[in-house]
């Protein structure tokens, strides 16, 4: 079981990500944007962070960049979960330090298997 931080500005998406991950036995915390995610991530250590890209206050790519600057998140898997699928945006995510890029709508089993893969 992993401790996972899921970040999305959409309340329903946060709920669905939490539902999918907790049904796989993971413990899930939620944040509504990059700023809140940074605050939460500084208070406690997560094994995986899954974030949307387009969010107010701080987007997902900036969040990944900020997390990678912190020594305790340098090697933590950071996954982008977004509707965006252009090569340009993926490249931006990769350069920021993202571990993977998942395009919505996600399949719960696939999400769980990716989480399990990045944790090993």
Q: Is the dihedral of CA 33, 36, 39, 40 positive or negative?
A: negative
Q: Site size for other proteins, by CB under 8 A? A: 18
66, two tokens: 């900020």
State which residue, 13 or 96, has the beta carbon closest to other proteins: 13
Alpha helices in 8-78 (DSSP H): 11-23, 34-43, 60-69
Of the residues 68, 89, 94, 104, which one makes contact with other proteins according to CB under 8 A: 104
Query: Where do we find the tokens 């719960």?
Result: 108
CA distance 9 to 1: 25
**Residues 47-86: x where in contact with other proteins by CB under 8 A, - otherwise, as a string:** ------------------------------------x---
User: Which residues in this chain contact other proteins in the complex, by CB under 8 A?
Assistant: 10-13, 15-16, 18-20, 22-23, 83, 104-109
């Amino acid at each position: 079981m992993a401790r996972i931080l899921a970040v999305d500005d959409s309340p329903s998406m946060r709920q669905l990500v939490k539902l999918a991950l907790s049904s796989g036995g993971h413990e899930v915390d939620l944040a509504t944007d990059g700023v809140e995610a940074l605050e939460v991530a500084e208070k406690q250590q997560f094994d995986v962070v899954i974030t949307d890209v387009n969010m107010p206050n701080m987007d997902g790519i900036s969040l990944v960049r900020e997390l990678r600057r912190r020594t305790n998140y340098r090697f933590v898997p950071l996954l982008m979960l977004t509707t965006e699928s252009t090569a340009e945006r993926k490249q931006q995510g990769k350069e920021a330090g993202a571990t993977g890029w998942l395009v919505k709508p996600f399949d719960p089993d696939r999400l769980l298997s990716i989480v399990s893969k990045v944790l090993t």
